[in-house]
Structure 1
Amino acid sequence: MSWNPFSRHTGSKKSLGVSRHAERELERDVKKLEELEEASKKLYKDGRRFTEANTALGKAEQKIVQGLMGSGLCQCDESFQADMVTWESQLEELQRHRQDMNSNIQKTFVDPMKKFSSVFPAVQSAVKKRDQSLQEYNKIKSKFSKYQEKERTGQNIVKLDSNRKALDIAQKEFDTQDNAVRQDVAKLYEGRTEYFRPSFGALVRSQLTYNTEAFKMYSAVASELFRNSKCSENERKDRMKQTLADMKALSITKDD
C-alpha cells in the first residue's frame, strides 16, 4: 500500500510553504523509496522460497533413491543395489552441505533483507510528519495573510502580530523537518547498493560452495554407476533406445 503523502495533493494548488519544483523533487525521491521497500520485501520472500525449494529438492531426490531401493530392481540385482547405497550415502552428505547453504543464505541474505525492510515504517512516519508540518504552516500562513488584508484596528494588529509569531515558529519547524527528510531520504536511497551488495555476494558464494561439493559427489556416483562401462554418453542413449525397442517388440507388449 502506498504511504507516499504526495499522491493526495495531485492536482491541488501549489503549497504555500515550498515551491512546486521542490515538492515534486521530494515526491520523486519518496516514490523511489516506496519502490525500494517493495523490492526489499520481494527479495526477502524470494530468499525464503529459495531455501524452501532447496530443501524440497533434497527431499524429492531422497524419495527417488528410497523408492528404487525398496523396489524389485534392487532386491533382484545386488550390483544395482550397491549403486543405490552409494548414491544414498552421497545424498546424506550432500544434505548436510545443503543445510549449510540454506543456513548461510538465511543469515547473509534473508535476514538482512528483513532488517532493511524494517527501516521503512520510520521513514513513512517522518515523511508524514513533514507533510503535516507543511499543512500546518500553510494553514497559519493563510490566516496571517487574511489579517494583513484587514483594517488596521488595534485588535487586528494584535492578532496579526500573534499570527506572525506563530508563522515564524511553524516556518522553523517545517524547515527543520523538510531539510532532515530531504537529506535522509537521499542518503537512504544512495546507500542501498552498499547494503545489498554483500548479501548478493554471499548468496553467490553459498551456491558456489554447495554446487562445487555437489559436482564432486555426483561425479563419484556417476563413476560408480558407470565403472564397468566404456560407452560414451551417446552410445548409452542408443543402447537405452535399443533396449526399449526390444521390450516393445515382445509379444506381451505389442499392440493388438
Structure 2
Amino acid sequence: MSKAAVKISLDLLRNPMCEQDQIFLESITALDTAMHRMDSVNQEKIMKYQRTVTEPLKKYSSVFASLNMAVKKRDQALQDYKCLQSKVERFEEKYKEKTGPNIVKLYQVREELQPAREEFEAREKQLLKEMPRLYQSRILYFQPIHEALIRTQVVYFTEMNRIFSELSDQIDQERLTDEQRERENEARLGELRALSIVASD
C-alpha cells in the first residue's frame, strides 16, 4: 500500500496542474514527502517483523521436523520390537520340544528381542519426558513474539499518526471542518454541473 501511495504522489507531482498552481504544487510536494516517509517507516516495520516475528516462528517450526523424526524413530522401534516379539512367539509355538537345537534357536531369537525392547522403551521414555515440556514451553516462546508484534505496531502507527498530522498541518491552512469541506466541494461541483458542456442527468 505504501508503494502505491508513493506512486500516486509521484504521478500527481508530474501532473501539469502542479506547474500552473503553486499552492497545489506545495500541497502535492508535502504529500509526496509524507508518502516517502511513510514508505520508509513501513520498510523498517517489515524488517522488524522479519527479525522479531517471522524468523522466530520459522525457528520454532523447525523443531517439529526433529519431533516428527523422533516420533517416526519411536514408531519404527515399536514395529521392530513387535515383529521380533511375534517371531519369539512363533518360535515358542514351533519348538515346543525342549531339544538342544530348539533351545539354542529360541535363545537366539529372545536375545534379538532384548535390544529391540530397550531401544523402544528408551525412545518412548524420551518422548514421554520431552513432549510435555515442548507443549508447556510454547506459551513462553510465543509471548515475546506476540509482544514484539504489538510493540512494532504501536511504533508504526504512532509514526504514521505523526507523519499524517504534520501533513495535515502543512496542507490544511484554512482549518475547515469535514462538513465545511463537503459543502465547499458540493458548491464547486454545482458550478461544474452548471457549465453548458456538462451533460445533465
Counterpart in the other structure of 1:151: 96
2:79 is equivalent to residue 135 of structure 1 = yes
Q: CA deviation at 1:144?
A: 0.9
Q: CA RMSD in A?
A: 1.7
2:18 is equivalent to residue 74 of structure 1 = yes
SS at match of 1:118: helix
2:137 is equivalent to residue 183 of structure 1 = no
Distance 1:235 1:228, change over 3 A: closer
Counterpart in the other structure of 1:109: 53
Task: Please give the per-residue CA displacement for 1:63-90, whole angstroms capped at 9, x wherever unaligned.
Answer: 1111111113212110111111222222
Taking the aligned partners of 2:130 and 2:90, their CA distance within structure 1 comes to 35
Taking the aligned partners of 2:87 and 2:136, their CA distance within structure 1 comes to 39
Alpha-carbon contact 2:13-2:25 (below 8 Å) kept = yes
Q: CA deviation at 1:185?
A: 2.5
Q: How does 1:1-256 map to 2 (within 5 A)?
A: 57-149=1-93, 150-152=95-97, 153-229=99-175, 231-255=176-200
Q: CA deviation at 1:233?
A: 0.9
SS at match of 1:251: coil
- Kindly indicate which of the two structures has a greater share of residues assigned to helix: 2
Taking the aligned partners of 1:142 and 1:106, their CA distance within structure 2 comes to 53
Q: CA deviation at 1:198?
A: 1.0
Q: CA deviation at 1:102?
A: 1.4
Q: Match of 1:182, as an amino acid?
A: L
Runs of 4 or more, structure 1, over 6 Å off, are none
Taking the aligned partners of 1:147 and 1:94, their CA distance within structure 2 comes to 78
Taking the aligned partners of 2:113 and 2:60, their CA distance within structure 1 comes to 38
Q: CA deviation at 1:99?
A: 2.2
Q: CA deviation at 1:110?
A: 1.1
Taking the aligned partners of 2:150 and 2:111, their CA distance within structure 1 comes to 59
In structure 1, the gaps of 5 or more residues are 1-56
Task: Please give the per-residue CA displacement for 1:149-204, whole angstroms capped at 9, x wherever unaligned.
Answer: 23222222212222222222211110001111232222222222211221121111
Q: CA deviation at 1:216?
A: 0.9
Give the % identical residues: 32
In structure 2, the gaps of 5 or more residues are none
Taking the aligned partners of 2:100 and 2:172, their CA distance within structure 1 comes to 106
Task: Please give the per-residue CA displacement for 1:117-136, whole angstroms capped at 9, x wherever unaligned.
Answer: 22222222211111111011
Q: CA deviation at 1:225?
A: 1.6
Alpha-carbon contact 2:9-2:35 (below 8 Å) kept = no
Q: Match of 2:184, as an amino acid?
A: R
Alpha-carbon contact 2:53-2:148 (below 8 Å) kept = yes
Q: Match of 1:75, as an amino acid?
A: E
Taking the aligned partners of 2:9 and 2:91, their CA distance within structure 1 comes to 87
